[in-house]
Structure 1
Amino acid sequence: MSSNGTSPEQLEADLARQREDLAVTVDQLHAKLDVKARAQDKAHELKDRATTANGRPRPDLTAAAVAAVVLVAGLLVWRRRR
C-alpha cells in the first residue's frame, strides 16, 4: 500500500479512467474543429427542414418564395414608374 492509502490497482484504475476521459475530450475537440464536417451537417439539416419526406420542396416555403419574388418585382415596377 502507498503512503496516501491507495493501492496500485486503484491507481491503475484511476489512470485508465482519466485516459478514457481525456480521449473523449480530444474526440469532442476534434469534432468541434472539423469545420468541413460541421458545414456539411448544417447543410443536410437545412435541406431536411426545407423538403418533404419524398425530397420535394415544402409547399409553404415555395409559396413564400413566389410571394417574395412577386413583391420584389412589384416594387421594381412601381419604382421605375415613379
Structure 2
Amino acid sequence: MTLSNGRGDHEALREDIRQTRAELAETVQALAAKADVKARIKGSASQVTGRLRGQAANVTGSVRTQAEERIGEVRSSVSEANQAVRRRPVPWGAGVLAAAAVAAAIVVLVMRRRQR
C-alpha cells in the first residue's frame, strides 16, 4: 500500500477516518433513539393497545358465541314448553312463566357482560 512518496498511507488513513465517522454516526443515532423516552413509551403503548384490542375482540367473540348458544337453548326449552302447554294447558302455565323468566334472566346477564 505504501507508495514511494507516502501517499498510500494518507489515503488509507483518510478511508479509516471516513469509516470511523460513519460508524460513530450510526452509534450516535442508536443512542439518540434509546434516549428518546417519549417515542419509546409511545411504541410500548401502541403495542399494549394492540394486544388489548385483540384480547377484547376474542372475549367479545366468546361472549357472543355463548350468548347465541344460551339463546338457542332457551328457544328450544320455550318451544318444548309451548308444545307441552298445548297438550296440557293448565299445569304448564306456571312452567312457561318460569321458563320465560329464566330466559329473560339469561338475556339480561349476557347483556350486562357485553357492557363490561
Do both share a fold (TM > 0.5)?
Answer: yes
Structure with bigger RCO (C-alpha 8 Å, 6+ apart): 2
| Residue 46 of structure 1, aligned match among 45, 48, 51 | 48
In the alignment, the residues of structure 1 paired with residue 11 and residue 32 of structure 2 have an alpha-carbon distance, to the nearest angstrom, of 32
RMSD of equivalent CA atoms: 2.9
In the alignment, the residues of structure 2 paired with residue 22 and residue 16 of structure 1 have an alpha-carbon distance, to the nearest angstrom, of 10
In the alignment, the residues of structure 2 paired with residue 32 and residue 51 of structure 1 have an alpha-carbon distance, to the nearest angstrom, of 27
Query: Is the Cα contact below 8 Å between 1:51 and 1:57 reproduced in 2?
Result: yes
Q: What percentage of residue pairs aligned between the two structures are identical? A: 32
In the alignment, the residues of structure 2 paired with residue 61 and residue 18 of structure 1 have an alpha-carbon distance, to the nearest angstrom, of 55
CA pair 60-15 structure 1, distance change in 2 beyond 3 A? same
Residue 9 of structure 2 is matched in structure 1 by 7
TM-score by length of 2: 0.42
Show structure 2 runs of 5+ residues with no match.
1-5, 63-116
Residue 58 of structure 1 is matched in structure 2 by 57
TM-score by length of 1: 0.57
State the 1:61 CA deviation. 8.5
Which structure carries more helix by proportion?
Answer: 2
Structure of higher CA gyration radius: 2
Runs of 4+ residues over 4 Å off in structure 1: none
CA pair 25-62 structure 1, distance change in 2 beyond 3 A? farther
CA pair 61-20 structure 1, distance change in 2 beyond 3 A? farther
In the alignment, the residues of structure 2 paired with residue 22 and residue 47 of structure 1 have an alpha-carbon distance, to the nearest angstrom, of 35
The size of the alignment, in residue pairs, is 58
State the 1:62 CA deviation. 9.0
Show structure 1 runs of 5+ residues with no match.
64-82
Letter in 2 for 1:59: N
